[in-house]
Structures are given as C-alpha cells and as structure tokens.
Amino acid sequence: MSAGSDVVLRAEGLVKTYRSGRQTLTAVDGVGLELRAGETLGVVGESGCGKSTLARLLMGIEKPDRGTVEIDGKPMPSGRRRFLESSRHIQMVFQDPYTSLNPRMTVGDIVREPFEIHASKLSRAARDARVAELFERVGLSPDNRHRYPSEFSGGQRQRVGIARALALEPRVIVCDEPVAALDVSVQAQVVNLLTDLSSDLGISYVFIAHDLSVMRQISDRIAVMYLGRIVEEGPVDRVFDAPEHPYTRALIDAVPVPDPEQSGSDAGLLQGDVPSPLRIPSGCAFRTRCPIAQDRCAADRPPLSPGAGGGSVACHFPLVAV
C-alpha cells in the first residue's frame, strides 16, 4: 500500500454531540485527519469512543456540530447532492454483514443498485457485465447473483458488501469494523481481500477496529481514539514499536501474545471501563485510567502535538522508547 502525497480525504475539528435526555453526550470531540491516495489509516479505540460516529461524519451521513470534511479538496456536499456526488468518491463497508444487506433483494441486485441510481448511461448488458466482474473481484462466483443474502455465510455477505462498495469505483472506503462480526478463520480472508483491492485499485481506506490484531497488517498509519479524541497518530510501525501515549501502550499490551515472556509490562494494562461520554474527565480524558497520571493531567487538556517518532501524541508525559 504505497502512500502518495495527494490528500483524498481531510477532516478538521469534527465535533458531534447527541442529546441524551437533558444531558449532552460528546461522541466526537475535535477530530482531524488526513488520508492520502492509496493509504490505509487504521482507527482504533475501545467500544464507545466515537469510531462509528466519526465514520458517519466522514461519509456525510451525519452533519457535524462543528468542523469540516473535504473529499478530493472539495467540501463534502450535503443532502441529496451529497448522496449523488460523494457516492462516487467515498463508500462504506459496515460492521454487520447480517443487517447491512437488504434481505429482500438478491445479492446481484444489491451489487447492481449503485448503477441503477448513478450510472444510468450504462446499458443493461454493460451493467450485467460489471456486476459479474465485481463478483469475481471479491471472490464470489457470478452464478450466485440470483440468491438472497440469507443463503450466504457472514464472510460471503461481507464480500457482497465490499462488491457493492466498489461498484462506483470510489477513491475512499470507510470500513467500520468490517471483520468484527466474522469467525476468526474468515477474518483473515476478508482482510486479505481488502488489502489486495488497495494495492490493485489504489483505494484508500479508513479502517476502523476496536482491537489491534489486524491493524498492523493492513494500516500505513494508525490513529488511536479515546472518548471522542485522537490521542496518538503516526506511522504504523512507530505506533506499535514505540507507542508514546500510555493508552496506546495499554491497548498493545492487551493484545494476547503467544509467548508470555514477550508481553509488555503490567504498568500499561488497562484498568476499569471507559468513563461515560456524558462525563468526560477534565484535562486528559485518559487520566482516570492512566498509570502515570499527575495533577497537571486533570488540570490541562494535552493538545495533539508532534511526538518524538514522527507522529503526534496528546500527552503531558509521553512515553519514551527504551
């Protein structure tokens, strides 16, 4: 996955809040990111930290309270214009292949639908040919096209979802935990398919996951989210080999390793649950679970600033590689 220099997707200062009774829940709290052509940005963080909300903001499915999204240097259009214009640039693959495909449509019609909506100039025969191509591209026999989603396994359904996302040849695909609902044995196949598509078609991904296990394989850069904010961002090897934020360290230490002697120090292990986004702690939101927090961490919010290793980190006391 080579990374060119042209930015295909840029977000700045994204904020999204929801009303929760009389209270305000902050799901995304000032997120910016840049995605270059052909690049995969992995976004990780525990459940509830705002990853899916960020995905919907990037897709233009929801409007941010504040902040901007640009695709290919142009602001994300809104309303029906968004639907018609941005679909050609950015598409999404959803977490749950059981609910994201219409059960009453054949898988052939599901993959064909983007052409019905957007590519009215293609003849019927040309559409059929494109649908068959897309099936083959994702490793499904075109003979399957008259069957319904319920007749397929989770992994096959996710391939249908990927074929649908590819139909209009988007430059960016946002994958929101695309393998989380699949059997472990099938996860690697779907990840390999996504990796192949990136190298063959030059697609850029925002690849969201709550665990780190597939991230190193697929990502060029990693952004780590905690309670609606990016707390660390950088090249994948740097983030994995020398994390600078204690939260990143803890996430990495939480990944099971085959050899216990290889595991990281206990100091980084995550304690307790993520606080409620209704009551985000003052200063650094991670301080209530951080093994090295000090008074200053409650008083001042650390900004995301250039770290030592070529990425960015939001911590008053970033870890140094040993």
Instruction: Tell me which of Mg ion, ligand ADP, none is bound by residue 251, counting a contact when its beta carbon lies within the kind-specific cut-off of 5 to 8 angstroms.
Output: none
Told to check if 229 binds ligand ADP by CB under 6 A, we report no
The least distance separating ligand ADP from the CB of residue 314, rounded to whole angstroms, comes to 17
The least distance separating ligand ADP from the CB of residue 67, rounded to whole angstroms, comes to 15
Nearest-angstrom CA–CA distance, 144 and 142? 5
Which residue type, as a one-letter code, is found at position 67? Answer: G
Residue of the chain from 14, 31, 52, 268 that contacts ligand ADP (CB under 6 A): 52
Told to check if 27 binds ligand ADP by CB under 6 A, we report yes
Question: Among 222, 246, 223, which Cα is nearest to 302's?
Answer: 246
Q: How many helices (H) and strands (E) does the chain have?
A: 10, 12
Q: In what order do the strands lie in the sheet with 7-20?
A: 23-36, 7-20, 66-71, 74-75
H or E element that contains 70: strand 66-71
Nearer to ligand ADP, 156 or 248 (CB): 248
Which residue type, as a one-letter code, is found at position 43? Answer: V
The least distance separating ligand ADP from the CB of residue 45, rounded to whole angstroms, comes to 6
The least distance separating ligand ADP from the CB of residue 26, rounded to whole angstroms, comes to 8
Nearest-angstrom CA–CA distance, 112 and 3? 31
Q: In degrees, to the nearest 5, what angle opens at C-alpha 162 toward C-alphas 146 and 90? A: 125
The least distance separating ligand ADP from the CB of residue 215, rounded to whole angstroms, comes to 15
The least distance separating ligand ADP from the CB of residue 171, rounded to whole angstroms, comes to 23
Residue of the chain from 50, 108, 246, 268 that contacts ligand ADP (CB under 6 A): 50
Residue of the chain from 2, 23, 47, 78 that contacts ligand ADP (CB under 6 A): 47
In the chain, the N- to C-terminal Cα span, in Å, equals 29
Nearest-angstrom CA–CA distance, 139 and 141? 7
- Interface size with ligand ADP, residues (CB under 6 A): 12
Beta strands in 227-302 (DSSP E): 229-235
Residue of the chain from 35, 37, 40, 53 that contacts ligand ADP (CB under 6 A): 53
Nearer to Mg ion, 225 or 284 (CB): 225
Residue ranges that bind ligand ADP, judged by CB under 6 A: 18, 25, 27, 45, 47-53, 277
